[in-house]
A and B are shown apart, each in its own frame.
Chain A
Amino acid sequence: MALIRIVKRQEPLGWGSCFVFLAALSLSLLLGGVILLIGGTPPWEGITTLFRGAFGSRYALEDALIKGTPIFLCSLGVAVAFRLQVWNIGAEGQYALGAVGATWVALSLPEAPAWVMLPAMVAVACLAGGLWGFVPAYLRQRMRTNEIIVTLMLNYVAILFLDYLVYGVWKDPASFGFPMTAVFAEAAVVGRIGASNFSWGLVHCLLLGLIVWIFMRFTRLGFEIKAGGDNVRAARYAGIPYDRLVMLVMVLSGALAGWAGFLETSSTVNRLQPSIMAGYGYTAIVVAWLARLNPLAIGVAAFLLAGLRVGVEGLQLDLQVPAAFGAMIEGLILLTVLAGGFFTRYRFILSRRTP
């Protein structure tokens, strides 16, 4: 009688895991096609439109890079926290507060020159985002509260706070009733690189990505974070200050998301308005997980998922597919990749049981 047994792999799968990843992606696209069909859109046309819209033109690629910026920064922070097994689901709120902090500086120092303004905006944005990460970390370590739920609830609080400001005290009188602040002064805008469409924000991303990669790979703290994430008890036993590490990664995580909020207001929309809350913080979680928390891979995954968002916009214009289709595909991709992980850790062997 032939029996299938499940055995743990002793060696990493190597290139095979790339195959598993691609298979999972294809499966989620296939399911996406089925759902397009349910919604009344021809699936093949839908998928090709999605790809063409995402990566088929220079404009689309540029747009993906621009949208990828905040996703990348949020994801970078989220991934550092996940490394320590700290579940920061709050990038969305930390990003919102970062945007609020940067706007506060821009609105309250209208006369400042750029060399004062921009560093001050970055600092306050990181401080605000970091604080929004510190609160759940503190509650987790002191009160043993669940950081998943606290960070999530703080997302709602932060977004509503942003709403309160742009619908109320910060509303531009000249905005015809729209909820938005006044346009930032020239000095508060991160400019474009030369004559290109890209802002210097892209350079921020590259540098921060590099710094986080070096931090995680070559510094003592980075090593401690990885060790703490692998085994909390062993890490404590080895004298690693786990409690302080939790606070550190959450503040770091929040500060990076805050930086993303700064870039979005300063370089993309040049003012604060509710539409900056596009769910980048949640996409960042998907990205971090797809990239297996590796800072370099996060860059690629952030670009791909930003491309998906751009593609869905095309789908919306050409075939009237609702924008929520993008979020749905993100969820599907994450689920299938998660399930696919099984095949990289275990293998099946056929064994014959002799009677």
Chain B
Amino acid sequence: MTFELLVPLLAAAVQSGTPILYATLGEIFTERSGILNLGVEGIMIIGAFAGFLVAKLTGNPFLAFIAAGLAGTVAASLHGVVCLFFQGNQVVSGLALTILGVGFANYLGLAYVGQAAPGFDPLPIPVLAEIPLLGPIFFQQDLLVYVTYLLPLVLWWVLYRTRFGLSLRAAGEYPAAATAAGVNVMVCRFVGVLVGGFLIGLGGAYLSLAYTHLWTNNLTGGRGWIAVALVIFAFWRPSRAVFGAYLFGGVMALQLRLQATGTQIPSSLLLMLPYALTVVVLVLASWRRRGSDEPAALGQNLEPID
């Protein structure tokens, strides 16, 4: 492959990896608190629709982006309430949230299928955009991509350098000990679910506001599930999530390009690529888990009895 083809492909990899990165980081934050949220796909599509709708109604993409995050928070709070207050099974509740979210977005969104909304366009960063190779790949993107360059650092700082981060990790690692040390595990976990939901919602908004600028049915197309798989690949660390997301972005971009160039390979087989790759990546990541930071109490509910 020649150079002139490779650079646009890598730039496209960063762009199509960005929504997955938002969602993966959100899910890492949630899972670190000990709550397994399988509702990512549903939260993401609710975020995508809320973003699209607010952008269409107000014409303000910034407002739309924040609204998508808030919609994600509200959706995630359902999971938080069912699992934390009502002791519902975390796996089933997450699945239910995905079924609900996808149904909800497709239900309200049907009237808008194919319609466009204002969103974010590429905004090259002066000076940095001129750097050979790195410039076109990383610094001729839109504003929401630039946010994800900082986001893993922020999350790392919150998780490892703040008192709240320590409490949150303790809630996911050993809730009984955390409680004994005076940490309110319920609050930590709820914050984990809500903040995670906010980030996942932003990931959905990236799809409708920057990636496509329009609304279609089933816009997320399984990206939420890929994000859940990437959390395992990332060993629950924000830094590794970046590589995973760009890897998947790369495969998605490559598959689109191959389709556009009109190869002999049928499009259904090309579309399979990201899903098949998820399985392969998951096998590789799970085979030798040495160094993984999987929270020990992930998915376990707390007994509500005092």
- Using CB atoms and an 8 Å cutoff, list the residues of chain A in contact with chain B: 5-8, 35, 38-39, 87, 89, 139, 143-146, 148-150, 152-154, 156-157, 160-161, 163-164, 167-168, 282, 285-286, 289, 321-322, 324-332, 334-335, 338-342, 345-346
- From A322, A334, A339, B99 is in contact (CB under 8 Å) with A334
Cβ contact within 8 Å between B222 and A156: yes
Could you pull out 6 A-B pairs where Cβ atoms are within 8 angstroms? Answer: A149-B228, A152-B225, A156-B222, A322-B107, A330-B100, A331-B98
Cβ contact within 8 Å between B268 and A341: no
Interface residue? B160 (CB, 8 A): no
Which residue on chain B has the smallest CB distance to residue A283?
A: B99
Report how far A189 CA is from B42 CA in the complex, Å.
38
Interface residue? B256 (CB, 8 A): no
Q: A160-B269, A331-B99 are in contact. Are A6 and B306 (CB under 8 A)?
A: yes
- From B108, B275, B282, B304, A6 is in contact (CB under 8 Å) with B304
Which residue on chain B has the smallest CB distance to residue A346?
A: B304
Interface residue? B176 (CB, 8 A): no
Report how far A149 CA is from B228 CA in the complex, Å.
8
Main secondary structure of the interface of A (DSSP, over half): helix
Interface string of B79-98 (1 = CB under 8 A from A): 00110011111011101111
Which residue on chain A has the smallest CB distance to residue B102?
A: A327
Identify the interface centre among B91, B98, B103, B283: most chain A CB within 10 Å of its CB. B103
- List the A side residues contacting B133 at CB < 8 Å: none
Cβ contact within 8 Å between A156 and B87: no
Interface residue? B305 (CB, 8 A): yes
In angstroms, how far is the closest chain A Cβ from the Cβ of B52? 16
Cβ contact within 8 Å between A335 and B229: no
Cβ contact within 8 Å between B279 and A335: no
**Total of A-B residue pairs, C-beta within 8 Å:** 154
Q: Name 10 extra pairs, CB < 8 A, besides A285-B95, A339-B85, A342-B86.
A: A5-B306, A35-B107, A150-B282, A156-B222, A289-B92, A325-B103, A327-B99, A331-B42, A331-B98, A339-B86
Identify the interface centre among B91, B106, B107: most chain A CB within 10 Å of its CB. B107
Which residue on chain A has the smallest CB distance to residue B269?
A: A164
Report how far A145 CA is from B284 CA in the complex, Å.
9
In angstroms, how far is the closest chain A Cβ from the Cβ of B90? 10
Report how far A289 CA is from B95 CA in the complex, Å.
11
For the complex of A and B, 6 pairs with smallest distance between CB atoms: A331-B100, A327-B103, A328-B103, A324-B106, A334-B96, A331-B99
Interface residue? B232 (CB, 8 A): yes
Interface residue? B202 (CB, 8 A): no
Report how far A143 CA is from B288 CA in the complex, Å.
8
Cβ contact within 8 Å between B225 and A149: yes
